[in-house]
Amino acid sequence: MISVRGVRKAFGSATVLDGIDLDVHSGEVVSILGSSGSGKSTLIRCMNGLEKLDGGRITIDDFDVSRPKELSEARKRSATVFQLFNLYPHMTAVQNIALAPVEVLKIPRKQAEADARTLLDSVGLSARADAFPAQLSGGQRQRVGICRALAMKPRYLLLDEITSALDPEMTSDVLAILAKLAHDGTTMVFVTHEIEFARTISSRIVFLDKGQLVVDLPTAEFFAADGGMAKPRIAQFLSKMR
């Protein structure tokens, strides 16, 4: 599981994560909601070892992401897809997907590229396997990004607003893939503004507000707006999002 304990992160004098506790167990889909600037991306970056923590601890299957020797093990278990398409522009879809399996997992290139084509087929992109990122639409690029993450056979998939730069039609293509992954039991941490979609795929909803995790509830309870102390903040947030 992913375990986040008492995590603090500041940029200069601004505290961005203020004592976050969160567990994500195998098979769960946990959606992280919250206004812009509430710290969602920073939390994902901390889970990935991309930010140095100012306090607390994050472990992925007991590997501490703050320890350089353990980070590579943690990163073998989790893969991240970011908001902005971060594919290598000089590589085709297949080459982008096969890169890490070849370099990190030492899978023979031929095998890795065959696996990449199978993944692309599973997201409806077999015909675009040899296209470069510039020749793909935004939605297609994000689907390649998901394939690239899945190629590492991660136990955990971290997704940071991967549809927020897409138009509605492309968004639904990408969300359909996530629904399939969720159905297959993929463990996901899903930062999103797609509230109604989060409702359909999540086991739990977590709500961040000003760097604090103010709600962590089973999905049905969250949407029943039974957030206890946090209820007014959830209601206000949901009314803005809808």
C-beta closer to ligand ADP: residue 39 or 101? 39
Q: How far is the CB of 4 from ligand ADP (least distance, A)?
A: 14
Smallest separation (angstroms) from ligand ADP to the CB of 11: 3
Residue 122 burial class via C-beta count within 10 angstroms: exposed 0-12, middle 13-18, buried 19 and up: middle
> Hey, which residues between 160 and 179 contact ligand ADP (CB under 6 A)?
none
Choose, by CB under 5 A, the member of 41, 48, 59, 142 that binds Mg ion: 41
Residue list 5-64, contact with ligand ADP (CB under 6 A): 11, 16, 34, 36-42
C-alpha torsion angle, residues 55, 56, 59, 63 (rounded to 10):
60
Closest CA to 130 of 119, 117, 143: 117
Smallest gap from residue 131 Cβ to Mg ion (A): 28
CA distance 183 to 190: 14
Query: Pick from 214, 196, 219: which is nearest to 28 by CA?
Result: 219
| Distance in Å, CB of 213 to ligand ADP, minimum | 12
Restricted to residues 182-221, the positions that interact with Mg ion (CB under 5 A) are none
Alpha-carbon distance of 122 to 150, in angstroms, equals 11
* Site of interaction with Mg ion (CB under 5 A): 40-41
* Site of interaction with ligand ADP (CB under 6 A): 11, 16, 34, 36-42
